[in-house]
Amino acid sequence: MSIAVGTGSSGDGNRSGFQGSFSSPTASAGSPSNDVSTFINRNQKRARVLYDYDAHDNSELSLMADEVILISQTDNMDPLWMIGERGLQKGKVPIAYLEILN
């Protein structure tokens, strides 16, 4: 979509004398959808939280039952824990509190 801004000489109300063209991005047939799952890192999975969990320190993420979070595993990490993400919050979560969805 292009928008042309007039010079004001035709009485269009624009007195700046500026003339330009602005384009906005358009989706092509081959572009991915804006679905949230499109933006999930390939190493991340989704998990449903089974039970409430209160973080014990700043390295952990508190959880609420029935919420869905993103999870990932890192090298050299205790296999009973994963990294959980909820929006901008990130921290360790106990795997026993999760049902992995994908």
| pLDDT tens for each residue of 14-64 | 444 545 444 445 544 544 444 444 455 668 999 999 999 999 999 999 999
According to DSSP, residue 93 is labeled: E
Here the tokens at position 15 are 């007195």
63 vs 97: CA distance, rounded Å: 9
Distance from CA of residue 24 to its chain's centroid? 22
Q: Give me the residues paired with residue 100 across strands.
A: 47
φ and ψ at residue 76, rounded to 5 degrees: 60, 25
pLDDT in tens, 67-101: 999 999 988 999 999 999 999 999 999 999 999 99
| pLDDT at residue 19, rounded to an integer | 52
Domain 39-100 sits in CATH at 2.30.30.40
pTM reported for the whole predicted model: 0.59
| Domain locations along the chain | 39-100
Tell me the C-alpha distance between 43 and 82, whole Å: 12
